[in-house]
Amino acid sequence: MEHLWAPWRLEYMKSADTQDECLFCAAAANPDDPARLVVHLGSHAVALLNKFPYASGHFMVAPVRHVGDYEELTDEEVLELHRFASAGMGGLAELYAPQGYNLGWNLGRIAGAGVVDHVHLHVVPRWAGDTNFMPVLADVKILPEHLEETRQKLRVAWPT
Ligand SMILES: [Zn+2]
């Protein structure tokens, strides 16, 4: 389990490096595009599913503003980021009843960030024994249909 936050998948990091657009800015600008995997958009923050999740329901929360420095987050952004993390966990609790969560900020490439210039918080639901059927180091196959289904469910379950 000590590896959970370090080894972001190589493919993901490669693709993040070669993309012209920022995936978080694109998500905030196109919240209704299923490909962006947005589950909730607010004034200061956006919540979206991770395209390469460690577990079902793995989502991320990012400020709407394109900002790469954690210390530059405004009070309004910090508040909504954490409110969205909390709300998303509320939705996941209703949908999948996780037994725990890992929340983490990967700041900088050395810390495993796939996107380094737009800070984001990962929320990964955990279940006892989950690494047995979905090893965090394995090349997990996630079907797009599965992600879209999770997205729809989480949008509905998002606490208001
Ligand atoms: Zn951005």
Question: What pLDDT, in 10s, does the model give residues 60-92?
Answer: 999 999 999 999 999 999 999 999 999 999 999
Token pair belonging to 78: 């910090």
Distance (angstroms) between ligand 1 centre and the Cα of 25 equals 4
What is the DSSP code string of 103-125?
EEE--SGGGT-SSSSS--EEEEE
CA dihedral 87, 70, 115, 64 (to 10 degrees): 50
The backbone torsions φ and ψ at residue 121, rounded to the nearest 5 degrees and listed phi first, read -105, 125
Residue positions annotated with a catalytic role: 120
Distance (angstroms) between ligand 1 centre and the Cα of 68 equals 8
Distance (angstroms) between ligand 1 centre and the Cα of 21 equals 8
Predicted confidence (pLDDT) per residue in 87-130, tens digit: 999 999 999 899 999 999 989 888 888 889 999 999 999 888 76
Distances 77 to 62, 67, 143, 157 between C-alpha atoms, Å: 9, 11, 32, 23
